Amino acid sequence: MTPLLLLGWLAAATIEPPSVVLITLDTTRSDHVGRIEGGSPLTPNLDALAKSGVRFRNALTASPLTLPAHCSILTGLEPPAHGVRDNGVTALPAGIPTLAEAFAGRGYRTAAFVASRVLDRRFGLARGFDVYSDRFENGAEVVVLMGEGDVHGPEAFQYSRNGGVYLVEQNAV
């Protein structure tokens, strides 16, 4: 091996893959996220994460509906291509690869913590996730990682401390 090739091989062998966190906010008003002028932080955990990560200020969706939009996020396909065009009607077809499957195939541990019934595992988005937490307390949808009544927060926090890729879906602030 040439010294340059050996150096490249050693560098590649010691670089840890980055941690990945994908957070989606569904039906959330922009004035309910982050600091409002002169006020106190409304979402301190999201604000802290945004400071050390990549945040997209001008994000567009493939669909105004939760399930088709999340299918597009997790497959990279538009609704006509993945076949999910409405909430609660069709599941993501088994033959379409997901982002979680791609990460799992590269050795990542993956988890999703969702707070909307339309993202229930029966609609196909759980594929590739080691953990897919779609439970709901007392028959109500829960708010994820934001304050009181948070049923996913401790589970998500523990998972993140152990390293891994996870999706956190925030419903209606």
Domain CATH number, residue 83: 3.40.720.10
**Is position 90 within any domain?**
yes
| 149 domain-assigned | yes
Q: Please give the pLDDT value at position 33.
A: 76
The verdict on pTM exceeding 0.85 is: no
So what's the pLDDT on residue 9?
54
Partner residues linked to 25 by β-bridges: 170
Kindly state whether residue 2 falls inside one of the protein's structural domains.
Answer: no
The pLDDT profile of the chain, 173 residues, written as one tens digit per residue, is 444 455 455 555 567 778 888 888 777 777 777 765 556 677 777 777 777 777 777 778 899 999 999 999 999 999 999 999 999 999 999 999 999 999 999 988 898 888 788 899 999 999 999 989 887 654 444 443 333 344 455 555 555 544 444 455 444 43
pLDDT for 78 = 97
Could you tell me the strand order of the sheet in which 165-171 lies?
20-26, 165-171, 110-113, 131-133
Output the pLDDT for position 151.
44
Determine, yes or no, domain membership for 6: no
Structural domain for 75, as ranges = 18-171
Q: Is residue 1 part of a domain?
A: no
Q: The tokens 């945040």 sit on which residue?
A: 55
Q: Does a structural domain hold residue 9?
A: no
- The total number of structural domains in the chain stands at 1
Residue 5 lies in a domain: no
Q: Is residue 8 part of a domain?
A: no
